[in-house]
């Protein structure tokens, strides 16, 4: 038996066990055979990445829409490559392409056709070319589809297979226990050939949830998953996976069946594409988020969802205590697992991760400040029938235009501090395109679309983008040049390997301080989170037996270990030992 045959035999055994838990023993064998048939069909076409499913200090992830940069009729992916070559040459290792499929709403997350590339992005050939230069993360929007998807059209027409792919609800059903990320009704009315029906719609009436209790739905989405592997995916992001399985009378989030589906997908990866990294997107409190590591048998990477709001709060308040305490409480990720650290994405700054960390009055005070900086707040429905804040809609650059006392002159420095702190933490840093550019709030986008999230989803014309990125007077120029330099410096330090040890040090509320350690490499990260110069006695930080001369990688200055160091507002110091 070859190694490939052995892996497939092991997969059959594990898959049948998981499918038995999902669908019962009578159906499990048949569904397993069908799943094995899909694997056999796609395996010869699976794109084999030469790099193993691991990572190092040079790894990072650019998060972007494929058509966020446009130039006349040319595909967006060509403009993206042009941007990276011009401003971040050889610095980005992986690209998270947000949904590039035809869609009807939510900028891609209401998918009409899971296997097509929309014209403004390009064609599959463009994806293939990108996948040969970068690790590409595909979005698998597996919880729901668009009302314009063929499956849902079949549901409306009462035609198989789509007529069995969705969940009908009596509109009077008690759904108060169901966890909701939105304030819209859970049951969406649909005009069908059988009259008005109500279907389960977790996110919007244009995003209709799929019924995974029907094994045909699971097989259909595993077909899409395998198709993405054949098209060059090195990472696959499981969008909104926490809501996958529905069972009335429960919260319908993080159900055991959902975890079994993620484990099944990990089994598929291990069987035919062990270089592929599964990433779960679960914008929930931290401990719930970590559950998707499983016993090292689910995701290899999870988003650090608590970081964006905690870091924003820290810099807004000029006090690192909360961030320090949180970071000190973090356990290292399990073996062969890591965090995806980020500050901004296509969505807003999620607030659920602050539950149990920040009091409600402090959250409200932060929201008031974000309103002052031009932001909005999206709400969610709660089981008690009331709404509560779910996310802040604002560009991260403008979220940092001031502090609780109002706007000030430190926006660029404060923003660079936020990005550098993020990329110093244990894990892999993710940079949203708009953060690399230092994009302000796109108020015109909100007015044009009527959607709050458009505030941080600006579409750039290449000529406009090139102008701000090359104008030395613009904040975009300053931000991009300095971020590129710091990303380069980070990639040269083994101590920033995602698995390098991390120790957070609590010395002063004005500073966030951490130490990263790898073999023959140590970096102290010192971050002044305030708008005033602060002093730090290095004898309290640096062990007496270590080197007495250090170098700040960022300023390239030598610093003696026995001095009181003056740290400018929002200054970042990466301190490395130079000599004994």
Query: In a 3-state reduction of DSSP, which class is residue 324?
Result: helix
Contact indicator for 94, 135 with CB cutoff of 8 Å: yes
157-174 in b/e form (b: 16+ CB < 10 A) is eeeeebbebbbebeeeee
DSSP 8-state class, residue 302:
E
Contacts of residue 515, Cβ cutoff 8 Å, sequence gap at least 6: 502, 503, 505, 522, 523, 524, 525
Distance CA(459)–CA(461), nearest Å, equals 7
Choice among 139, 206, 209, 239 that is catalytic: 239
Q: Count the alpha carbons within 13 Å of 55 in the hemisphere toward its beta carbon.
A: 30
Which of left, alpha, beta for 107 (phi over 0: left; psi -120 to 50: alpha)? left
Cα–Cα distance for residue pair 391/136, rounded to 1 Å: 27
* Cα–Cα distance for residue pair 60/340, rounded to 1 Å: 9
Tell me, yes or no, if 106 is annotated catalytic: no
Which residues on neighbouring strands pair with residue 430, listed in sequence order?
61, 342
Total residue count of the chain as it appears in this document: 580
Instruction: For residues 400 and 239, give the distance between their C-alpha atoms in angstroms, rounded to a whole number.
Output: 28
Q: Which token pair is 219?
A: 């097989």
**C-alpha gyration radius of the chain:** 24
Q: How far is CA 198 from the centre of its chain?
A: 31
Nearest Cα neighbor of 304 from 152, 393, 427 is 427
For the record, the structure tokens of 484 come out as: 């590129």
Determine if residue 296 is left, alpha or beta; phi over 0 gives left, psi from -120 to 50 gives alpha, anything else beta: left
Q: Which two tokens stand for residue 146?
A: 């668009």
Q: From 360, 353, 364, 348, select the one nearest 316 (Cα to Cα).
A: 364
Q: Output the DSSP codes for 517-548.
A: EETTEEEEEEEE-SSS-EEEEGGGTS-TTS-S
Alpha-helix residue ranges (DSSP H) falling in 334-427: 360-372, 396-399, 411-424
Strands 277-280 and 135-140: unpaired
Q: H helices of 231-320, where?
A: 256-272, 286-290, 307-317
Which tokens belong to 127? 């994806």
Task: Supply the residues annotated as catalytic.
Answer: 239
């Amino acid at each position: 038996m070859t190694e490939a045959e052995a892996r497939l035999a092991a997969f059959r055994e594990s898959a049948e066990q998981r499918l038995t838990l999902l669908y019962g023993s009578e159906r499990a064998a048949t569904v397993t055979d069908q799943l094995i048939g899909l694997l056999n069909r796609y395996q010869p076409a699976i794109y084999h990445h030469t790099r193993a499913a691991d990572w190092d200090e040079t790894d990072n992830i650019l998060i972007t829409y494929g058509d966020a940069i446009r130039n006349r009729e040319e595909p967006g992916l060509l403009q993206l490559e042009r941007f990276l070559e011009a401003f971040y040459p050889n610095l980005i290792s992986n690209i998270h392409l947000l949904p590039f499929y035809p869609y009807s709403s939510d900028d891609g997350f209401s998918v009409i056709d899971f296997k097509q590339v929309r014209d403004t992005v390009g064609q599959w050939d463009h994806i293939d070319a990108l996948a040969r230069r970068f690790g590409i993360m595909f979005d698998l929007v597996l919880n729901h589809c668009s009302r314009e998807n063929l499956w849902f059209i079949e549901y409306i027409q009462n035609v198989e297979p789509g007529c069995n792919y969705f969940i009908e609800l009596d509109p009077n059903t008690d759904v108060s226990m169901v966890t909701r990320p939105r304030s819209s009704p859970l049951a969406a009315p649909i005009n069908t050939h059988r009259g008005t029906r109500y279907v389960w719609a977790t996110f919007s009436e244009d995003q209709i949830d799929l019924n995974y209790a029907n094994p045909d739905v699971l097989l259909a989405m595993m077909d899409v998953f395998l198709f993405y592997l054949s098209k060059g995916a090195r990472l696959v992001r499981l969008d909104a996976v926490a809501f996958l399985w529905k069972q009335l009378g429960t919260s319908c989030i993080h159900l055991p069946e959902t975890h079994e589906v993620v484990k099944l997908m990990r089994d598929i990866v291990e069987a035919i594409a062990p270089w592929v990294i599964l990433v779960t997107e679960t914008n929930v409190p931290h401990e719930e988020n970590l559950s998707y590591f499983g016993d090292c048998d689910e995701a290899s990477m999870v988003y650090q969802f608590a970081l964006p709001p905690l870091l924003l709060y820290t810099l807004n308040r000029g006090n690192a205590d909360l961030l320090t305490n949180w970071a000190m409480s973090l356990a290292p990720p399990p073996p062969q697992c890591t965090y995806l650290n980020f500050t901004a994405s296509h969505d807003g700054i999620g607030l659920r991760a602050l539950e149990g960390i920040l009091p409600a009055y402090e959250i409200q005070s932060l929201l008031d400040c974000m309103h002052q900086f031009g932001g909005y707040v999206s709400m969610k429905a709660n089981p008690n029938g009331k709404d509560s804040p779910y996310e802040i809609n604002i560009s991260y650059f403008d979220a940092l235009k001031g502090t609780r006392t109002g706007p000030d002159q430190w926006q660029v420095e404060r923003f660079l501090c936020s990005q550098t702190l993020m990329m110093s933490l244990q894990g892999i840093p993710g940079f949203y395109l708009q953060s690399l550019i230092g994009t302000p709030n796109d108020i015109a986008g909100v007015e044009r679309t009527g959607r709050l999230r458009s505030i941080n989803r600006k579409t750039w014309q290449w000529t406009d983008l090139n102008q701000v990125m090359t104008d030395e007077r613009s904040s975009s120029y300053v931000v991009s040049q300095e971020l590129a330099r710091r990303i380069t410096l980070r990639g040269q330090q083994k101590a920033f390997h995602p698995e390098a040890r991390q120790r957070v040090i609590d010395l002063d509320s004005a500073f966030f301080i951490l130490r990263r350690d790898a073999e023959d490499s140590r970096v102290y990260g010192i971050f002044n989170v305030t708008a005033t110069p602060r002093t730090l006695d290095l004898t309290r930080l640096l062990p007496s037996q270590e080197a007495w001369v250090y170098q700040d990688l960022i300023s390239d200055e030598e610093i003696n270990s026995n001095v009181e160091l003056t740290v400018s507002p929002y200054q970042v110091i990466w301190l490395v030992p130079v000599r004994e």
